[in-house]
Amino acid sequence: MKKLKPVLVFSLLLVFIIIGSAFSVQVCAQTLHCQIVSDPYGSIWLATEKGAINISRNGKVTVYNKSKGLAEDLVTQIVIGPDGSKWFVHSGVIRSGGGLMIVAYGVSQLKKDGTIKIFSYDKGLPSSMVYGITFDKDNTVWLATNEGAVNLRVGGKIKVFTVKDGLPDSDVRYIYVDNKGIRWFSTSKGTARMGLDGKVSVVYK
């Protein structure tokens, strides 16, 4: 586990044990696949403890792991971006040695040109614990983290929304963008929305 604030470890572990894979937190058993998705090109992607496995339409198998440039071997979620890029989440809870272990390594982006970019605490995120990835109507990326809602803007700029910006809590478990472009933030202490004007308001607490 990297750069996860120690004071949060016990409380996070307690929550994960109780709710399991709720709020998009992925619980994986080692040696098993965490997720299976397909991309627009007909390829199958497997999220595993040994990396992101790509199986092309003709059966060719390609493994993307730490040695190939990812933040970590363990991949708990794979999200296909609107532009065809692949996003790999390296955070969640895994079953290990009869118990549960929290891992927090951020996310990796496999761009269409084959290059890989890492987003983590060391690379400017408020935390490496990423619960999930959502895309805005303009294709910008949102990361739900335990230290705020992170907007990865065009050009690599990072904007973090927390309680200081009006959220009920900075522990953002899930982000949803509706068909009108309204952003919805599910946190550990309630739900908020962000209008098209960028203003945040609490709708349920």
Which domains occur in the chain, in start order? 6-204 (2.130.10.10)
Residue 4 has pLDDT above 90, yes or no: no
Integer Cα distance of 201 and 192 in angstroms: 5
Give the pLDDT of residue 137.
87
Cα–Cα distance for residue pair 147/105, rounded to 1 Å: 14
Sort 164 into a burial class: Cβ within 10 Å, 0-12 / 13-18 / 19+. Answer: exposed
pLDDT recorded at residue 102: 87
Residue 30 burial (CB count, 10 A): 14
Where is pLDDT greater, at 25 or 57? Answer: 57
Report how far residue 124's alpha carbon sits from residue 33's, in angstroms, rounded to the nearest whole number: 29
What pTM did the predictor assign? 0.83
pLDDT of amino acid 132: 95
Predicted confidence band at 28 (pLDDT cuts at 50, 70, 90)? low
| 105 φ, ψ (degrees, to nearest 5) | -120, 10
Letter for the amino acid at 161? F
Residues in CB range of 32: below 8 A, 6 or more apart: 48, 49
Give the tens place of pLDDT for each residue, 63-108: 999 999 999 999 999 999 999 999 999 998 877 777 888 889 999 9
Please identify which residue in the block is written with the tokens 């294709």: 139
